[in-house]
A and B are shown apart, each in its own frame.
Chain A
Amino acid sequence: DTEVTQTPKHLVMGMTNKKSLKCEQHMGHRAMYWYKQKAKKPPELMFVYSYEKLSINESVPSRFSPECPNSSLLNLHLHALQPEDSALYLCASSQEPAYGELFFGEGSRLTVL
């Protein structure tokens, strides 16, 4: 089962709201990732968790706050977002933290009003 599950699939929020995106994998992978993708562009890395510890933060604004409660779950907490943060947010996982094959979820489409 090579599945990464993301919820919700769609999210609309105002600039003052607080919301969270969730990601789950049951493949025993030790690395989990958040990517952001704008239309007609490749995904851009935001965060990497390796063995449940934050290993890479690509200088993401603090209004995005990742959390890894356990090895199967990854959250992205959203607060005080801007309209330009509207995008497809993709979660991924890999067996190896650095060079393993990446498996992506279907994404959460975020619209910030």
Chain B
Amino acid sequence: KQEVTQIPAALSVPEGENLVLNCSFTDSAIYNLQWFRQDPGKGLTSLLLIQSSQREQTSGRLNASLDKSSGRSTLYIAASQPGDSATYLCAVPNAGGTSYGKLTFGQGTILTVHP
């Protein structure tokens, strides 16, 4: 059974810092990995989808890397801003079985960027 862990659970940084959020998964047979952002009381916003054949994916100040063999992904946020404050979730789809394609989510990292 796939398990996804995110470290740290919470992170508070001053504006302007570069930061790294970590996501690890137990079953390396993944098709892709998706990073989401969630503001309080809102839906999830897709940030980046990184395919299993890719090592990195970039969007603006965000960069996601994937190391399938070690079961890890990192989300790098450059020059953080107060508007980046949110919960960040990573998720991988189950491979095979009756719930194939079902996303397994990590518990999330709560990020606070203070001015």
Contacts and interface: CB of A to CB of B under 8 A. Distances in A.
Given A90-B44, A107-B42, A107-B43, A102 B103 contact: yes
Given A48-B101, A48-B102, A106 B34 contact: no
Given A98-B93, A99-B31, A99-B32, A104 B101 contact: no
Interface in B90-108: 91, 93, 98-103, 105-108
Contacts of A21: none
Interface residues of A, number: 24
Nearest to B6: A42
Nearest to A42: B105
A56 interface: yes
Contacts, number: 58
Most buried by B among A43, A56, A103, A105: A43
Given A42-B106, A45-B103, A98-B100, A104 B46 contact: yes
Interface string B22-50: 00000000011010100001111110010
Interface of B: 31-32, 34, 36, 41-46, 49, 89, 91, 93, 98-103, 105-108
Given A2-B46, A98-B31, A99-B93, 16 more contacts: A6-B43, A41-B107, A42-B91, A42-B105, A42-B107, A45-B99, A48-B102, A56-B98, A56-B99, A90-B43, A99-B31, A102-B91, A104-B36, A104-B44, A104-B45, A107-B43
